[in-house]
Amino acid sequence: MPDSKDVSVDPIMLELVDEAGRTIGTAEKLAAHQAPGQLHRAFSVFLFDPAGRLLLQRRALGKYHSPGVWSNTCCGHPLPGEPPFVAAARRTAEELGVSPVLLREAGTVRYNHPDPQSGLVEQEFNHLFAGVLEQEVRPDPSEVGDTAFVTPQELARRHEQAPFSAWFMTVLDAARPGIRAVTGPAAGW
């Protein structure tokens, strides 16, 4: 049996893309986020309860990137060759212990957001998804520090008072048409 010190962990690889979102290669996850950053594929999920409230997560304090800040329901990176929709559903189950009853595409957005706290850079071509959740969340504490369901008004207050991820408003604003298609106009998104 090998000594546990000899066991190596395979690096997490991301899919590098061009400005049109076409795959051009791969890079190790941390290397892709080091300044100035490499453009890579990502996804962001926005899940709502039947009343139209958005599920936020506060990232776990142990995360190497943006620990302890509030953000959208789930976000991450597809594995090379993995469809973004499949990755979004997979990571939602892994991080929050749930499967949405509805999950639909809500567009894409490209951004470049440096994180002043960590010095890392989010150079992402982000696939957006919106959906409905009817289960109680069971967060993985290594991924998620806290969760909260919020109305648009509650989100505005929370956003003024608490730290949020550098990418949060960019992805939320880009996903709004898809979000409204899921929540309906009465929810106010």
3-state secondary structure the chain: CCCHHHCCCCCCEEEEECCCCCEEEEEEHHHHHECCCCCEEEEEEEEECCCCCEEEEEECCCCCCCCCCEECCEEECCCCCCCHHHHHHHHHHHHHCCCCCEEEEEEEEEEEEECCCCCEEEEEEEEEEEEECCCCCCCCCCCEEEEEEECHHHHHHHHHHCCECCCHHHHHHHHHHHHHHHHCHHHCC
The catalytically annotated residue of 74, 75, 95, 122 is: 75
The catalytically annotated residue of 124, 134, 136, 143 is: 124
- 74 included as an active-site residue: no
- 124 included as an active-site residue: yes
Active site positions, annotated: 75, 124
